[in-house]
Amino acid sequence: MKPLLQVEDLTIAFVDENKQKVVVENINFSVGPGEILSIVGESGCGKSVTALSILGLLKPNARIIKGKILYQGNNLLDMSEKELDRIRGNEVAMIFQDVMNSLNPVLTIGKQLTESIGIHLGYDKKEANEYAIEIIKKVGLSDPRSIMRKYPHMLSGGMQQRVMIAMALSCNPKLIIADEPTTALDVTIQLQIMKLLVDLQKEFQMSIILITHDIGVVAELADRVTIMYAGQFMEEASVYQLFDKPYHPYTNALLKSIPSIYDDKNRKLASIPGTVPEDYSAIKGCKFADRCPYKVPLCEEIQVLSEMESDHFVRCHRAEKGELVYE
Amino acid sequence: MSNKENRRPLMKVEGLKKYYPTKGSDLGSYKEVVHAVDGVDFEIYEGETLGIVGESGCGKSTIGRQLVALEKPTEGKIIYQGADISSMSIRQLRKIRTQLQMVFQDSTSSLNPRKQIYDILAAPMLYHGIVKREDLDNEINKLLNMVGLPKTMKYRYPHEFSGGQRQRLGIAKALSLKPRLVVCDEPVSALDVSVQAQILNLLKQLQEELKLTYVFIAHGLGAVRYVSNRIAIMYLGKFVEIADTNDIFINPIHPYTRALFDASPLADPQLRGRKRIVLKGEIPSAVNPPRGCRFHTRCPHAIESCSILEPKLLPIKPGSSHKAACPVVLDKGVENA
């Protein structure tokens, strides 16, 4: 199966005056048709920057140093703004965490939806209206006509998130990039939105890149998972492989540090000492080494991703040699 | 806190209500009232952690603020050491404030950005006469050490700390006044997972060392289960269920409790297909809460009487400390409701 999106050796840096700070380092991944790929990591690990780079939405101080982002074989990085506009929305759409900042507060929901439908699908006003109503129904909002007349602030957080999803869906994209789509929501609403995403993904045969820090959401939704730390992928595997047998010490610690509602209360929660380094671009060897309980001198050397089992990759020389056994 | 017979209440809350007037309409005259907390009774036992769980807007943080006397309740009593703190004057409150402290979710806004940590920690202790000036240095070193920060950090400003470190400072600040009750309002929600575990473990360890009583307010069920001895589930200003932690997780009674547990994502992809309740709709507004049982508009088990009679929080068996506010389930049992 040919991948829909393929990212090769992507390296992104923040540049100010004469300093350059690499925030995403040599990452490679691909998303197949109908696949949900999750990029997991803590704040500041570079996952959102990766997401934004795909649609050319990086802030001016971020530079793509090298790499390719191939969408159906064409490099998005070589495209002009005009060519990109044909991809954005039509082919690849994005859902953001912060809905309030992505909806225009002074336009009605109807206006915002029909505008993009008009531009992308070339519908006239009436057609766009009817189509918008259909889409609003699709995302599970009742009384679509009254929703169309409302302004964003008149809707609850869950409803706003549904409107965002409706906007993203409106032009039948093949790929949706969802950056923390449920993080701001309450759990019962989060469950509704997760179900909605999966249902729509199946119905429309879409691919999704799910950016999140929430391991629980990943376990519920993803097909494949990559664990990102300090700008690098530390581990990549199918969701079942990863939860069943994590290889990287960071992945292992991450999985063990979540208190579960079905947990024995007396188990002491594993915590990772320290915090994510702020400027990690200068670290040559393993970026996690300073917080890793399994650190040895060799960790100061450059670490590479290697395949442990079919399609299960890890960036840790000790895991690769089979030296690490977790409880 | 395993010995149930020895439970001594540190605080007793009776009929607590807190209403907030909204700002009113554009015309100014018409005012609405938000029923943030609407009749809640409970006790907090010495040395325990009482978890209060609910979704945003359910009133859990409002309860927290009343417990430490940051606000006065609209109705009801909060009995602490035999006196009702909700009817105390500011002068009377000053004497007990040190004993009732709070750790906030957003530690950044509770630390003055223009002051060094030393001064932030020193001012309240000096004001309340907790330490003498000559012992101050020592005391601050001790506090920082207690929350796992190097004492060399005391001359830094809040912005020089990471989120997890700032939360440690928030804890140090609360503990500096030697409190007996600490209300932790979403203390880990803003933190990364790997750091959340650090803070939860720190809170547990400090509780043991200092014999503290906690009220732990949060929406993350996993974290609440990890730290709490008892848990209260809240929905639209009311408790719908309260029980010992193990009891509530093994035998959840109220349909909302069960829906909330079901909605909590599990870190195990093998359990993806599990059967679970998906609630329809959203939490109704607290301005006009539904009549009868407040959950009946979303409840899969609601019957006609649910929209008329307001259910009381009752023991699920005579004498049980596990209480739930759902006559339907209590009558028919969880399986048949």
Q: What is the tens place of the pLDDT at every residue in B118-145?
A: 999 999 999 999 999 999 999 999 999 9
List chain B residues with pLDDT less than 70.
1-6, 23-30, 337
| Bridge partner residues of A208 (DSSP) | A36, A176
pLDDT attached to residue A327? 78
Mutate to test the interface with A, among B191, B193, B275, B282 (most CBs of A within 10 A): B193
CA–CA separation, A191 vs B277, rounded Å? 10
Cβ distance A317 to A288 under 8 Å? no
Q: What is the pLDDT of residues A242-271, one digit of tens each?
A: 999 999 999 999 998 888 877 666 678 888
Helix, strand, or coil here: B230?
Answer: strand
If you average pLDDT over residues A43-50, what whole number do you get? 90
Encode pLDDT of A271-322 as tens digits. 888 878 878 888 999 999 999 999 999 999 999 999 999 999 999 999 999 9
**CA-based angle B251:B256:B258, to the nearest 5?**
35
Contact A283, A299 (CB under 8 A): no
pTM of the model: 0.88
Placement of tokens 């960071």 in the chain: A250
Distance CA B178, CA B130 (A): 8
pLDDT value at position B337?
Answer: 64
Q: Which residue has the tokens 């880990």?
A: B188
Sheet strands (E) in chain B = 9-21, 33-45, 49-53, 75-80, 83-84, 100-103, 181-185, 213-218, 230-235, 238-244, 314-315, 323-324
Q: How far is CA B7 from CA A52, B31, B101, in A?
A: 54, 44, 21
pLDDT tens per residue, range B257-305: 999 999 999 889 999 888 888 888 878 888 889 999 999 999 999 999 9
Report the pLDDT value the prediction gives residue B27, as an integer from 0 to 100. 58
| Distance to chain A for B233, nearest Cα, Å | 14
Question: Which strand (E) or helix (H) includes residue B165?
Answer: helix B163-175
Decide if B194 and A261 are in contact by the 8 Å CB cutoff: no
Distance from CA of A100 to the nearest CA of B (A): 17
pLDDT of residue A218: 95
d(CA B102, CA B65): 8
A→B interface, C-beta within 8 Å: 42-43, 156, 158-159, 186-192, 194-195, 213-220, 222, 239-240, 243, 253-255, 257-263, 265, 268-273, 275-276
Distances (CA, A) of A322 to A238, A247, B77: 20, 9, 62
Residue among B157, B272, B2 at smallest CA distance from A240: B272
H or E element, residue A22: strand A19-31
With a cut of 80, say whether residue A155 has pLDDT above it.
yes
Q: Strand B323-324 vs strand B314-315: parallel, antiparallel, or unpaired?
A: antiparallel
Top residue of A141, A191, A239, A291 to mutate, by most chain B CBs within 10 Å, is A191
Q: And the tokens for A286?
A: 């393993």
Q: Pick the closest to residue B182 from B142, B227, B127 (CA basis).
A: B227
Question: What pLDDT score was predicted for residue A266?
Answer: 66
Domain A5-101+172-320 is in which class? alpha beta
Residues with Cβ within 8 Å of A243's Cβ and at least 6 positions away in sequence, in order, are A219, A255, B267, B268, B269, B270
What ipTM score was computed for the predicted complex, to two decimals? 0.83
For residue B314, give the H/E element and its range: strand B314-315
**Phi, psi of B146, deg, nearest 5:** -60, -40
8 Å CB contact of B226 and A259 = yes
Over range A150-162, report the average pLDDT: 88
pLDDT score of B4: 55
| Nearest residue on chain A to B54, alpha-carbon basis | A186
Mean pLDDT of A178-199: 87
The whole-chain average pLDDT of chain A stands at 91
Q: Do B193 and A269 touch (CB under 8 A)?
A: no
Q: Which residues contact A276 (CB under 8 A, 6 or more apart)?
A: A42, A43, A44, A45, A229, A230, B192
CB B105 within 8 Å of CB B187 = yes
